[in-house]
Structure 1
Amino acid sequence: MRPSFLLFAALSPLGALAQSPAAPQLTPQETPAAPPVTVAAPAPGTLRTVTLREALTIAVKQSPEVAAARAQATVVSVGVRRAWTAWQPEVTLSGQFVHSSAEAQLDLGGFVQLVAGVFQLPPRNPELIPEPVVIAARNSRYATAQISQPLFTPAGVFLLGPAKAGAEAAELGALEAREQVLLAVARTFLGLQGVAQMMDAAREAEQVALQRERDAQAQLNVGMAVEASLLRAQAETAQARVQLAQLSGQSAQLLALLGALVGEPVQPAPLEALGAWWELPSEDQSPWEDTFAVRAAAMAVRANKGKVTYDRFSWLPSVAAVARGNYNSNAGFTGQTTTYDVTLAATMPLYDRGQRYVTLREDEARLAQSKAQYESARARAHANWVAARANLEASQATVVQAEAQAQLAARVQQQVAAAFKAGVATSLEMFDADTRRFLAASGAAQARATVEIRRAELAAAAGRIAASLEQQESEQPRP
């Protein structure tokens, strides 16, 4: 998930402000417009105020997206246990109760008497004739217990390694998803802090505009100003309130997004400098190679290699030992109701309608695909690192310039205000100075938030957001 477009919309209000609709023309007799209706926001104190570190910690524990990624990794990890089943025994127990309308038996005495009657030959030793043997009584009970233990199977030899590699790739994929969620939390959190600073600048601009409006009204009442001065002051007030309403809407939107990412409604604490907070490795260490996405792609290549190896040796025979115990309530000729037998079975597939060759071609294609994806993941990770580093350097230069411009605009506003009171500056010059100060203050706030966002992006490009969080937690003093 990449909510960067929301962040950029939240951190780029200056263009929208410059193109905001003109304020309605008011006559001097009209009262100033009522304060704008801002987007409904939670009342102060109803949301939990957290720092960025606390927000990231909560997201790791409660974020629905992180939980979904972990569940998906758990599903894939079951494949390791499934691979082990190739070596585990199979035990079955079955039983039957059969009721028959007629008893089946073998009566040799009746057969002898029949032969003797036909040939008129009486038996000489009738005591040697056995009793009738019951083959199936009216009510018969049968039971079988069987255990089959594989001794050798190609699946057990060659598929265990690919299953472990696939499970590790899924775990790394879940960690990469967690890293992206934490990056989204950091972006949204820092974007909210930047919007909060811009709202402070907008409130200050509103207060200045209201003061200008009151001064213009007083001067108009005593005949020291014309109606244009009051109209300009009222336009400044309306524009400041429009800007404040826009920023309030962006803040409410980002608050909702932050709550969805974190897993509970929270609001950010004031902006703090986090330059030394992130664990940023040097470029000599090739940190992009250690990202979870690259490592997951490498494990996927390993898993597909193992599957191809299995396909090439799946023709090997499978050997299993089978022990079976039987119970029959009809003793039959053996005179025993319980018997057992032991079997050593070997199965060798000679030709399975070509399925093995089809599977081999499919797995070879997947192996080639995974290799290409691995190279692509490495290239993307390197590009992300280079871009994040360049963006950080650019934003650091921008924030210095923006803060200098904000300080200069504040001094210019003070000088123009003093000149206006002395009567050597016009209200139009005051309006221009006020606007420039607000834009400079908003630009500085945006630049400060952008620097922190770029640092978070650089940490994410090295896969170190969660690692930085864990390091900070380990350095915290134990209570």
Structure 2
Amino acid sequence: MFIRIAAGSARRPLSLVLLAALSPLGVLAQAPAGSEAAPGQAPAARPAPATVGAPAPGTLRTVTLQEALSLAARQGPDVAAARAQAAVAAAGVRRAWTAWQPEVTLGAQFVHSSAEAQLDLGSFIGLVAGVFNLIPANPQLVPDPITLSARNSRYATAQISQPLFTPAGVFLLGPAKAGAEAAQLGALEAREQVLLAVARTYLGLQGISQMMDAAREAESVALQREGEAKAQLDVGMTVEAALLRAQSETAQARVQLAQLSGQYAQLLALLGALVGEPVQPAPLEDSGLRWDIPSEDQGPWEDTYAVRSAALVVKAHEGKVTYDRFSWLPSVMAQARGMYNSNSGFTGENLTYELSVAASLPLYDRGQRYAALAEDRARLEQAKAQYESARARAQANWVAAKANLRAAEAALAQAESQAQLAARVQQQVAGAFKAGMSTSLEMSDADTRRFLAASAAAQARATLEIRRVELAGAAGRIAASLEQAEQAAEQ
């Protein structure tokens, strides 16, 4: 028995796993070598296979669906990575603010020279007077020697530069904020996808658990049929083919149970990886978690994190194009600088300062501005196309999820009806077989149909719950539904 998967199910490994678990028993008709008991011998007692690779019972923490989603949202490694990526983008806003922030520098220097440098005007005047045989009229006016560079000199400089106007500070702050918001929404979209994967895995595990119960019931029925066939063979009421058929059905049920056990262990490991710690699902019951699904009239796909993030990316690229158009504007900067020199020099002071206002106008920068403008325009067109694509995909996901939900509801109703009918038919055939009015072949067919119907009903129930989660995910409301449930629990 096969169940059709709707479009877009390539990203739904859980549904494929469930489908693989429901392969027709006819494929497994051949039992392993040595599984058939020899005619006239009692069937050997064979224990049911345990879960392959699964931890021992009781070693894992049992959580409900709501608890699993809360753990994934709080400590899931994929969610943590998305948040870190959003934090990197948020740092870009601080980088954009640096265009308006001052720059303060402080420098110091110590210089040792083998000989000091001095300006001695008295020696120069004496030299000139001796050459021309002149006597200075006022020698007291001759200044003392001026030290330009002593043997040990100390210098210090403190400088502060404050931008008064810059094109980057005016036009790039808005795009940086839009980019940071887009990254934050992208992280929320990643969280939404992780929560969707957790819900699919969790519900898939519960579905496989129900199918394992059906396989165990099929095994017990098959063992009962073996016993009945053995008793009838001993009294000569049947032939060896009936015993062989019963043993084959037992082998088929055990092979099916082993396959389901392996799939359960695989999904259990996947759930632990998504949640961030080893956990196991609770028994199937109503978790009380209600998905917040808006009406289609509200256009819920427009409010998804992916669409909102794509819109902000367009806004960020528009801001970059605007900056490229006005990057030719001048930059104005005010600067204050204070200096210390252990040599007083010509000024006669050790401490001095300077104040200045500078403006720079880029006339031509080798064409880099025009190249950046062309590149950013192309990126803007790309962002617009991606935004429209995101809207179309979001709407398609919503339509597909809603259609899949309706199909799953109809499939569940049909599967439950078939399971009830198969159970009644099995009871009727069993009663007729005991009265000698039906054959062992009819009994085998009724048992097989009962198991297939029970397995299909188990898969249909799990699929319906998964479709409901997918519809909430198509509206971007999984995390919101979880928050509402947590708030209701606190109240």
Normalising by structure 2, what TM-score? 0.95
User: What's 2:477 paired with?
Assistant: 464
Match of 2:225 in 1: 212
8 A Cα contact 1:318 1:346, kept in partner: yes
Report how far residue 230 of structure 1 moved. 1.1
Instruction: Tell me the equivalent position of 1:316.
Output: 329
Which residue is equivalent to 1:177?
Answer: 190
Q: CA deviation at 1:272?
A: 3.1
Question: What displacement does 1:18 show?
Answer: 4.0
Q: Which aligned pairs between 1:166-205 and structure 2 lie closer than 5 A?
A: 166-205=179-218
- The amino acid across from 2:129 in the alignment is A
Give the secondary-structure state (helix, strand or coil) at the position aligned to 2:28.
coil
Q: C-alpha displacement at 1:27, in angstroms?
A: 2.2
Partner of 1:441: 454
Partner in structure 2 of residue 9 of structure 1: 17
Q: Look up the match of 2:47.
A: 35
Question: What does 1:79-478 align with in structure 2 at a 5 Å threshold?
Answer: 79-273=92-286, 277-478=290-491
State the 1:19 CA deviation: 2.0
Deviation at 1:223, TM superposition (A): 2.4
Identity %: 74
Aligned to 1:48: 61
Structure 1 residues 344 and 224: alpha-carbon distance in aligned structure 2, compared to 1, 3 A threshold: same
Give the Cα–Cα distance (whole angstroms) in 2 for the partners of residues 189 and 287 of structure 1: 25
Shift of 1:120: 2.1
1:71 is matched with which residue: 84, 93, 113?
Answer: 84
CA distance in 2, matches of 1:383, 1:435: 39
> What is the alpha-carbon distance in structure 1 between the residues aligned to residue 10 and residue 99 of structure 2?
42
Change (3 A) 1:274 1:395: farther
Contact 1:321 1:345 in 2 (8 A): yes
- Rounded Cα–Cα distance in structure 1 between residues aligned with 2:10 and 2:81: 16
**Are the aligned partners of 1:96 and 1:142 in contact in 2 as well (CA < 8 Å)?**
yes
**Any stretches of 5+ residues in structure 2 without a counterpart?**
1-8
Q: From the superposition, tell whether residues 317 and 21 of structure 1 become closer, same or farther in structure 2 (CA, over 3 Å).
A: farther
Letter in 2 for 1:369: Q
Contact 2:178–2:315 under 8 Å retained in 1: yes
Rate the CA distance shift 1:347–1:42 in 2: closer, same or farther, 3 A.
Answer: same
SS at match of 1:315: coil
- The worse-fitting range, judged by mean Cα deviation, of 216-225 and 126-135 is 216-225
Question: CA offset at residue 131 of structure 1?
Answer: 1.0
Amino acid corresponding to residue 408 of structure 1 in structure 2: L
Task: Spell out, residue by residue over 1:133-174, the C-alpha distance to the aligned partner (whole angstroms, 9 max, x if none).
Answer: 000000000000011111111111111100000000000000
- Contiguous gaps of at least 5 residues in structure 1: none
Structure 1 residue 375, shift from structure 2 partner = 0.2
Between the aligned partners of 1:270 and 1:248, the Cα distance in structure 2 is 16
Distance in 1 (CA, whole Å) between partners of 2:324 and 2:345 is 49
User: Structure 1: which 4+ aligned runs deviate by more than 6 Å?
Assistant: none
Matched letter for residue 79 of structure 1? G
Q: In 1, distance between residues paired with 2:364 and 2:421?
A: 84
CA distance in 1, matches of 2:427, 2:343: 113
Match of 1:57?
A: 70
Instruction: Assess, with a 3 A threshold, how the Cα gap between structure 1 residues 129 and 183 changes in structure 2: closer, same or farther.
Output: same
With over 3 angstroms needed to count, the CA separation of the structure-2 counterparts of 1:281 and 1:18, relative to structure 1, is farther
Native 8 Å contact 1:275 1:452 kept in 2: no
Q: What is the alpha-carbon root mean square deviation over aligned residues?
A: 1.6
